[in-house]
Amino acid sequence: MTRLTALNPDNTTGKAKELFNGIQSKLGMVPNMMRAMGNSPALLEGYLNLSGALSHGALGVKTGELLALAVSERNACDYCLSAHSFIGEKLVHIDPTTLNNARHGNAADIKTNAALKFATLLLEKNGLVNDEDVNTAKAAGLTEGEIGEIVGHVALNVLTNFFNNTANTEIDFPVVTAAVNA
């Protein structure tokens, strides 16, 4: 059972209604996570702004989806695993093997693999990475800007993972379960 209410966009007013209308026009629906975030329009707007900014970053949408899967697996967020598996396969056209590998922090491409490994280190070390960790990422071809974006993607996904795990958001995508929850 959900712990935070997913608002009905038809029954909202003010800033939440404005944000829901924008989401509806872009996606054709308002996903349950965003409906629950709408209880705090400030949170929903912050999420949308950071997500939107990162989607135009140097790492690109594909790497962003793979990072989301790696972070979500480690945080056991079934909602985000479900959403990003669906988005990755159906909208970004990433093959299922690549999606599954990303959940475990692995990629065939050296640079993408380094991004996933760095994201995993950020989580394992609570952000307290060291010179060697950063230099290893740089040696794999990641720029300082891309390393900064990885930190941003990790932070964004920790936000959504923690939010959905707190809210126990009803999954409105084909369900994918974290290995620790299986």
pLDDT 10s digits, 31-48: 999 999 999 999 999 999
Confidence of residue 180 (pLDDT cuts 50, 70, 90): confident
Averaged pLDDT of the chain: 97
Q: Residue 36: CA atoms inside 13 Å, Cβ hemisphere, count?
A: 20
Query: Would you mind telling me the total number of residues written for the chain in this entry?
Result: 182
Number of H helices, E strands in the chain: 9, 0
Q: Residues with Cβ < 8 Å from 89, sequence gap 6 or more?
A: 95, 96, 99
Query: With left for phi above 0 and alpha for psi between -120 and 50, is residue 14 left, alpha or beta?
Result: left
Query: Taking the complete model, does pTM exceed 0.85, yes or no?
Result: yes
pLDDT 10s digits, 134-167: 999 999 999 999 999 999 999 999 999 999 999 9
Distance CA 135, CA 141 (A): 10
